[in-house]
């Protein structure tokens, strides 16, 4: 299938999360899929930040006990260490919460994507089954963990390169990292309908390659919003619904051109 570079495709792809919002607003019953992960992740974020705020000073004491009768330079350095420990603690709490969100939301997102597809294609959605959710938990968690490890395997070396080779490394991290992140999220959030069809990775890539600007637009929109703390909690269901709608549109486009 030949690649098509339609004018305006990037903007169309960027707006697919809004189409996801429209789907969620039309079908109120979908809240049974997207609300539990938001509640659980919010609780995890609040717990992590509370733990970091209460115990960052314990970490400082392990590294450097509070000096007694120290001069102002030593006191200032110790105070700076406390500030750094506090900032790092809050940052780690957010990172842990994001990872927790991706893992805990995986089975719910799978069920949400399936139901959105059935609603958008006119087929009746089956009743929610907690038993099926539990049964699919191991598979979806394994897949999501694999995706996170793949992302880290690419982005961590790029991040290290940005520090080891100033200038060129930072440029590569910005350009290559941004493109890879957009492609990664585009694949990630269209993965559920592709998995239900038993598509191999090459076939999935072909679907996304036929309208690359639309794919990149969607990936950039998802990446921008998912990396914003707090906003990412509410944005994920929009990305799931929008990604499912994007896959259905790409599938229809491929079928027309076949």
Average pLDDT, the chain: 80
Say how far apart CA 235 and CA 224 lie, in whole Å. Answer: 10
| Dist CA 192 CA 112 (whole Å) | 9
Q: How much of the chain, in percent, has pLDDT values that exceed 90?
A: 22
Q: What is the mean pLDDT of residues 222-233?
A: 76
Higher pLDDT, 44 or 183: 183
Give pLDDT tens digits for 33-67: 989 888 887 887 788 788 877 877 777 777 777 77
pLDDT > 80? residue 120:
yes
Residue pair 14/217 in contact (Cβ under 8 Å)? The answer is yes
- Does the pLDDT of residue 185 top 80, yes or no? yes
193 and 244 in contact (C-beta within 8 Å)? yes
Quickly tell me which residue has 């390659």 as its tokens: 209
Residue-wise over 238-255: b if at least 16 C-beta within 10 A, else e?
Answer: bbbbbbbbbbbbbeebee
pLDDT category at 139 given cuts 50, 70, 90 is low
pLDDT band at 127 (very low <50, low <70, confident <90, very high): low
pTM of the model: 0.75
Residue of higher predicted confidence among 214 and 4:
214
Asked if residues 244 and 115 have their Cβ atoms less than 8 Å apart, the reply is no
Q: What is the C-alpha separation between 28 and 167, in angstroms, rounded?
A: 49
Q: Which of 158, 156, 182 is nearest to 169 (CA)?
A: 158
Kindly state the tokens that stand for 186.
């585009």
């Amino acid at each position: 299938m030949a690649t098509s570079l339609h004018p305006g495709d990037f903007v169309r792809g960027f707006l697919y999360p809004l189409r996801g919002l429209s789907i969620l607003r039309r079908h109120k019953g979908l809240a049974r899929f997207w609300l539990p992960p938001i509640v659980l992740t919010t609780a995890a974020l609040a717990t992590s930040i509370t733990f970091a705020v209460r115990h960052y000073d314990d970490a400082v004491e392990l590294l450097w006990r509070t000096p007694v009768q120290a001069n102002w330079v030593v006191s200032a350095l110790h105070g700076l260490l406390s500030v750094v420990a506090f900032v790092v603690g809050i940052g780690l709490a957010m990172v842990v919460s994001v990872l927790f969100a991706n893992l805990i939301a995986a089975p719910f997102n799978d069920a949400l994507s399936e139901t959105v597809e059935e609603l958008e294609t006119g087929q009746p959605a089956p009743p929610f089954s907690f038993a099926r959710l539990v049964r699919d938990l191991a598979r979806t968690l394994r897949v999501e963990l694999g995706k996170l490890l793949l992302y880290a395997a690419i982005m961590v070396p790029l991040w290290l390169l940005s520090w080891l080779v100033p200038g060129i490394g930072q440029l590569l991290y910005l350009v290559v990292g941004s493109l890879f992140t957009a492609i990664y999220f585009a694949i990630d959030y269209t993965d559920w309908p592709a998995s239900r069809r038993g598509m191999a990775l090459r076939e999935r890539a072909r679907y996304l390659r036929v309208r690359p600007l639309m794919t990149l637009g969607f990936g950039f929109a998802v990446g921008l919003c998912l990396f914003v703390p707090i906003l990412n909690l509410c944005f994920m269901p929009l990305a799931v619904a929008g990604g499912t709608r994007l896959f259905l549109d790409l599938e229809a486009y491929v079928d027309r051109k076949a």
